[in-house]
Amino acid sequence: MNQSLLVELLDTDLRHTIQTWTFDSDSPFHIGRSADADVVIRNPYVSRTHVYVSSSDSGWNLVSISDLGVIIDGKTVRTAEFKDSVEFQLARKGPLMRVSVYSSVPGDSFDAKATIGEEAFNIPILILDERKRDEEVSAIENQDFFGRLQDIATNLKRKNDQGRT
Amino acid sequence: MAKIISIHSFRGGTGKSNTSANLAVLMASEGYRVGVVDTDIQSPGIHVIFRMDNEQIGHSLNDYLWKKCKIEDAAYDVTASAIGHASPEDRAPKLFLIPSSLNTGEIARILREGYDVAKLNDGFQQLIAGLELDYLLIDTHPGVNEETLLSIAISDHFLLVLRPDKQDFQGTAVTVELARKLGVEKISVLLNKVPASMDPELLKEQVRTGYGCEVVGLLPLCSEMAELASSWIFVNRFPEHRLTQELSNVAQHLLK
């Protein structure tokens, strides 16, 4: 079984995925602000070359090349080992990131999106639940205030049109 | 004839106020007289983008709603700071900001008592006439309370700002339907904070299918905007940025 790495840039407050990158297990990569970084993060708190990720015998290594370090569980560290997944912040005020290990079936070229499905990445897809929408619309429409509002709006618009011409 | 454009989001955090401020600057720059009203009385914010602080705000929209002043008294000419190439003697461009009060007591009073929606509408009309506005932009409060719905209802153009996010998309769908039931004819969507990994054409198609309205802009998620963090007007700070270019397209659409 082949292993691949999924790198995610996370929204600091909402923690949803903003951007993703994937790498094969045999290709180490680096994260930084520099345009030639494998994972380019344009953020002033990120160093030009900030973090280097590579595989080791027992799992994966994350090394902060930057003196600013990375913050894991509230502590500033220079190196970390992980097996499945690691969440870290690039410097104290920098962006939040996650690196996770995924297995793929041998022979299959690894396409993270196709394999895991977009749901797993928490990438939002704009699909509407029309029934839910219609229920919520009716709930508002059937309140007294909405009918009153429609009347007020009609009158005001008429008045505005007269005033403006 | 002057046009009223209300700018709305179902949820907070979509970048609505920032977008409103930048669009107002771009629209005025094209040689128009533009007013921006912050009707997000519960959480006012647009004044920050124009770098107005508490001391600089004398009268606010709240004072007008409580009949303490005329609405023109709460209008501040921000042309000089927001639009560099303007001369004070020129008729246009002109940009006016009508802020909400930052006073927590005033905010609490609005929350407690609400306000007269007809008075707000009269205020809009007085602003248009008194300041000879070509466009009046209304920065609305998120969600669908009565006051917000009325601001939307009397608008010529309703611009929805949302993130490409399932919850935003579902919630905004309700607002779109309510706006239609209130007789708003022109409804457009602006997708904000779009990650580079998403397919713009697919997003546009999904909005068209879901809402039956057009996407007039797709603003990329960018660190420059985040770093600026509402402290200044993006389009002035980064005139060559692709976000500025996309915002200009939206402004052109609103000027049509």
Res A2: pLDDT: 61
Higher pLDDT, A112 or A5: A5
DSSP annotation of A21? E
**pLDDT at residue number A163:** 76
- By Cβ distance, the residue of B154, B166, B211 closest to A125 is B166
Residue A67 CA to residue A32 CA, distance in Å, equals: 13
Q: Which two tokens stand for residue A130?
A: 């029309």
Q: Please determine, for residue A124, whether its predicted confidence score (pLDDT) is greater than 60.
A: no
CB contact under 8 A, A152 and B181: no
User: A107 pLDDT exceeds 60?
Assistant: no
By CA distance, what is B121's nearest residue in A? A156
Place of tokens 């007039």: B216
**Strand, coil or helix: what is B107?**
helix
- Are B206 and A125 an interchain contact pair (Cβ–Cβ within 8 Å)? yes
What residues of chain B, 193 to 232, have a C-beta less than 8 Å from chain A? 195-198, 203, 206-207, 209-211, 221-224, 227
pLDDT at B43 over 80: no
In angstroms, what separates the C-alpha of A58 from chain B's closest C-alpha? 32
Work out the angle at residue B76's Cα, subtended by the Cα atoms of residues B44 and B53, and round it to the nearest 5 degrees. 50
Interface contact flag, A124 B206, Cβ < 8 Å: no
Mutate to test the interface with A, among B126, B181, B186 (most CBs of A within 10 A): B181
**At which residue do the structure tokens 């509408």 appear?**
B121
Arithmetic mean of pLDDT, B31-57: 86
Taking an 8 Å cut-off on Cβ atoms, the answer to whether B153 and A157 are in contact is yes
By Cβ distance, the residue of A20, A44, A127 closest to B197 is: A20
Which tens digit of pLDDT belongs to each residue from A57-96?
788 899 998 989 999 999 999 999 998 889 999 998 889 9
Residue B178 forms contact with A (CB below 8 Å):
yes
Mutate to test the interface with B, among A126, A145, A149, A151 (most CBs of B within 10 A): A126
Q: Is B132 on the interface with A (CB under 8 A)?
A: no
Of A13, A140, A154, the CB nearest to B144: A140
Give the pLDDT score at B229.
62
pLDDT tens-place string over residues B168-203: 899 999 999 999 999 999 999 999 988 877 888 889
Residue A114 has pLDDT above 60, yes or no: no
Instruction: Assign B208 a pLDDT band (cuts: 50, 70, 90).
Output: very high
DSSP B69-85: S-GGGG-EE-HHHH-TT
Query: A145 pLDDT band (50/70/90 cuts)?
Result: confident
* Banded pLDDT at B231 (limits 50, 70, 90): low
Task: Give the tens place of pLDDT for each residue, B82-132.
Answer: 987 777 788 889 999 999 988 878 887 877 787 888 899 999 999 999 999
Nearest CB to B203 within list A19, A126, A150: A126
**Measured between alpha carbons, how far is B28 from B86 in angstroms, rounded to an integer?**
10
pLDDT at A23 over 60: yes
Q: Which residues of A touch B209 (CB under 8 A)?
A: 128
Closest CA to B35 of B102, B91, B98: B98
The answer to whether B72 and B60 are in contact (CB under 8 A) is: no
CB contact under 8 A, B177 and A149: no
To probe the interface with A, which of B147, B174, B175, B215 has the most A CB atoms within 10 Å?
Answer: B174
Q: Say yes or no for a CB contact (<8 Å) between B196 and A157.
A: no
Query: Residue B128 burial by CB count (10 A; 0-12/13-18/19+): exposed, middle or buried?
Result: buried
CA-based radius of gyration for chain A: 25
Percent of chain A whose pLDDT exceeds 90: 36
Residue in chain A closest to B132 (alpha carbons) equals A164
